[in-house]
């Protein structure tokens, strides 16, 4: 009987110890620093933009409060937009190229907590994913398009007549170019920014149209392959020649609509003025999109 009682006592002690261990483990787990997973496409520009979001957060939130992890999400279209530029017969919009869908799906699958975009790339509301919100905008940068060339052309009107090849796969840019200069030849040039600049250097096109904000972000980053611009010149295209895209120049961050924790973190770097601009321009874009043939 005494032996049995001793065994019971040992079991009770073991249960108490196990319970105490469980409490300690739970307490330690609850004390772990939360991690914010920021999703980005793997292109050099996209990664520069994701790092700018991480750096802005780090200035507001210490590492003891929040860990930040950048997660690269590759889409099938990123695999096509490799480091060597390519041409195609139709513009990106006509081919339904989607550079945000994989990030959107990663959010919905809880693989990431936030996705960083050039806000101009997010589709109009009617064609975007349900369950996601744009909860944060960084301050607006230069919204203009730039004309990049070796010869230093300052506007579309300065380009040589009759067949100068201009590289852009944007329907918006192509329509405005042809309205002003129907004699130019448009080339649906694809690839990351560096690849397109190399295509210009190699003479595949005589000029290139890029977003000023994206080009400036790359130039001022630590990305080694874009620092040598001595052989290229660029000028903002005057607004009377080309209107910029809706939300161009704004970095936007999307999250799951239900994720208030992530929204609270991102609110610390949210720029209200950029958000107002984005809301107005996206509302205008939604109205235009409503006339799109189904």
Which token pair is 52?
Answer: 């700018």
Q: How far apart are CA 265 and CA 259, in angstroms?
A: 11
Asked if 286 is an active-site residue, the reply is no
Q: How far apart are CA 2 and CA 290, in angstroms?
A: 85
Provide the strand spans (E) within 124-249. Answer: 132-137, 145-149, 165-167, 185-190, 207-211, 233-236
**Cα-based distances in Å from 12 to 4, 7, 24, 247:** 12, 9, 18, 66
* Dist CA 151 CA 234 (whole Å): 9
Catalytic one of 98, 121, 271, 289: 121
Return the H-helix or E-strand segment holding 72: strand 67-72
Q: Angle at which helices 44-60 and 193-201 pack, to 10 degrees?
A: 140
- CB burial string 186-212: b at 16+ within 10 A, e below: bbbbbbbbbbbbbbbeeebbbbbbbbb
Q: Locate 269 and state its tokens.
A: 């770097």
Of the candidates 282, 262, 279, 219, the one whose C-alpha atom is nearest the C-alpha of residue 57 is 262
Structure token pair of residue 118? 């050039």
Distance CA 120, CA 22 (A): 49
Active site residues: 121
């Amino acid at each position: 009987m005494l032996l049995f009682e001793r065994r019971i006592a040992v079991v009770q002690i073991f249960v108490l110890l196990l319970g105490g261990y469980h409490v300690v483990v739970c307490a330690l787990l609850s004390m772990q620093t939360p991690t914010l997973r920021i999703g980005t496409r793997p292109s050099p520009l996209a990664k520069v933009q994701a790092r700018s979001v991480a750096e802005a957060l780090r200035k507001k939130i210490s590492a003891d409060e929040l860990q930040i992890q950048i997660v690269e999400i590759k889409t099938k279209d990123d695999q096509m937009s490799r480091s060597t530029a390519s041409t195609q017969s139709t513009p990106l919009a006509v081919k339904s190229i989607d550079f945000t869908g994989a990030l959107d799906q990663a959010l919905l699958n809880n693989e990431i907590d936030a996705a960083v975009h050039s806000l101009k790339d997010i589709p109009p509301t009617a064609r975007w994913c349900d369950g996601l919100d744009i909860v944060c905008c960084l301050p607006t940068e230069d919204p203009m398009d730039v004309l990049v060339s070796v010869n230093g052309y300052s506007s579309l009107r300065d380009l040589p007549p009759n067949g100068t090849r201009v590289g852009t796969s944007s329907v918006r840019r192509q329509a405005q170019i042809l309205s002003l200069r129907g004699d130019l030849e448009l080339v649906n040039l694809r690839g990351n920014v560096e690849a397109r600049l190399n295509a210009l250097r190699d003479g595949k096109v005589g000029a290139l149209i890029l977003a000023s904000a994206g080009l400036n972000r790359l130039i001022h980053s630590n990305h080694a392959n874009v620092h040598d611009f001595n052989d290229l010149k660029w000028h903002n295209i005057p607004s009377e020649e080309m209107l910029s895209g809706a939300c161009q120049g704004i970095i936007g961050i999307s999250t799951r609509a239900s994720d208030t924790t992530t929204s609270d973190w991102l609110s610390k770097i949210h720029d209200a003025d950029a958000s107002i601009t984005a809301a107005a321009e996206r509302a205008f874009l939604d109205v235009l999109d409503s006339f799109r043939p189904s």
